Structure 1
Amino acid sequence: MTQLETSMAIMMKVFDTYAAADGKPGSLSKAEVKTLLEKELPQLIKGAKNKDDVDQMIKGLDFNGDAEVDFEEFAVLVAALACACHGRKGKK
């Protein structure tokens, strides 16, 4: 597989791993999102000014208002974070 194909496969695997924790493999609960962020993006959590910021970010991911984060909503988070990190590359 190419690097991009590998990256996509890893992203899908990460989502599926955390989404399966509560028996609903198609979406992440708030608790599952928090666990995913703590384990997969620990620097993001450490960089948050307060825990309410993290809760607001999680709430903001739920575009359809169903109190869960589906794969499409998760993909938006990953893409937004990648854009933010890429924009900061080289800036000190």
Structure 2
Amino acid sequence: MQLMIQTFHKYSGDEGDKYTLSRSELKNAQDKEAVDRVMGDLDANNDGEVDFTEFIILVGALTVACNDFFLEFNEKQEKKK
């Protein structure tokens, strides 16, 4: 949890509101097309910024997706045995 909080605030503090991520702050790690898709998906209230709650929704969704992937991967590995 501490790492997620630190990561969010590492990027959110670069400009403007230090408690939200702007498009340009997200661009530090993404290309423009990817940022537009991410912002569209994460910015639930359409204010042009991603707050910590919206960010955590992404983290949760990624965690579920990774869990599903590894469950499926493990099942395939067990079938090979």
Length-normalised TM-score, structure 1: 0.68
User: Are 2:51 and 1:70 equivalent residues in the alignment?
Assistant: yes
> Structure 1 segments of 4 or more deviating over 6 A?
none
**What is residue 10 of structure 1 aligned with on the other side?**
3
After superposition, the CA RMSD in angstroms is: 2.2
Deviation at 1:15, TM superposition (A): 0.6
Tell me the TM-score normalized by structure 2. 0.76
Structure 2: any 5+ residue segments left out of the alignment?
77-81
How far is the alpha carbon of 1:53 from its aligned partner?
A: 5.1
Counterpart of 1:70, as a letter, is: D
The alignment covers a number of residue pairs equal to: 73
Letter in 2 for 1:10: L
**Quick check: which has more Rg, 1 or 2?**
2
Percent identity between the aligned chains?
40
